[in-house]
Amino acid sequence: MQADLVKEGISASTVKTAITKGWVTATKIHQNRDPFMQPVEPSQPLQLNSDQQAAVTKVTEAIQAELNECFLLEGVTGSGKTEVYLQIIDLALKRGKTALMLVPEITLTPQIVNRVRSRFGDQVAMLHSAMSNGERYDEWQRINRGEAKVVVGVRSAIFAPFKFRDHYCG
């Protein structure tokens, strides 16, 4: 990359001259910025308790019937809500759908996104205001191209460019 050559002490004008004289060929390469701070280890679904399974079953039935329904999952911190979300997202992905997971505050986003990435890997995009403009742009483009099927973010993530049918939850 040209930036690497400049770091090694080769001036930009020298690189430009080499390109002009045909000694080297310039090729543009698109490289996404990676907003994720660390790699994650893959995880497997956890065994659900009866309340969690009842919630997953209820939402699964609505998804399979293609019903436009809203569900409220309540529980204290540490009660296993995230695992319920992950198993429902997995079902949606297997049915060719996408998923948006809203996080209540930006400080929780990295922790939640790492949990979601551990299950769904590169299918996950993250959107929030603490990311650089370039990182948000790259994530937006991944979503728009259909490369990211799951978006995790704060309120503004509702504007992610998913291709929805006429479903509205409200």
- pLDDT tens per residue across span 130-168: 888 988 999 999 999 999 999 999 998 988 988 755 444
Q: What is the enclosing helix (H) or strand (E) of 45?
A: none
| pTM of the entire predicted model | 0.73
Read off φ and ψ for residue 38, nearest 5 degrees.
-155, 155
CA atoms within 13 A on the CB side of 82: 16
Based on the number of CB atoms within 10 Å of its own CB, is 150 exposed (0-12), middle (13-18) or buried (19 or more)?
Answer: buried
Q: What is the enclosing helix (H) or strand (E) of 102?
A: strand 99-102
Rounded to 5°, angle at Cα 129 from 126 and 135:
55
Domains of the chain by residue range: 1-31, 32-159
Q: Tell me the sheet residues that pair with 82.
A: none
Per-residue confidence (pLDDT) for residue 151, from 0 to 100: 95
pLDDT per position in the chain (170 positions), as tens? 677 777 888 888 888 888 888 888 887 766 665 666 677 788 899 999 999 999 999 999 998 998 888 899 999 988 999 999 999 999 999 998 899 999 988 888 788 889 999 999 999 999 988 888 988 999 999 999 999 999 999 998 988 988 755 444 44
Q: Tell me the sheet residues that pair with 102.
A: 153
**For the domain 32-159, what is the CATH superfamily, name and number?**
P-loop containing nucleotide triphosphate hydrolases (3.40.50.300)
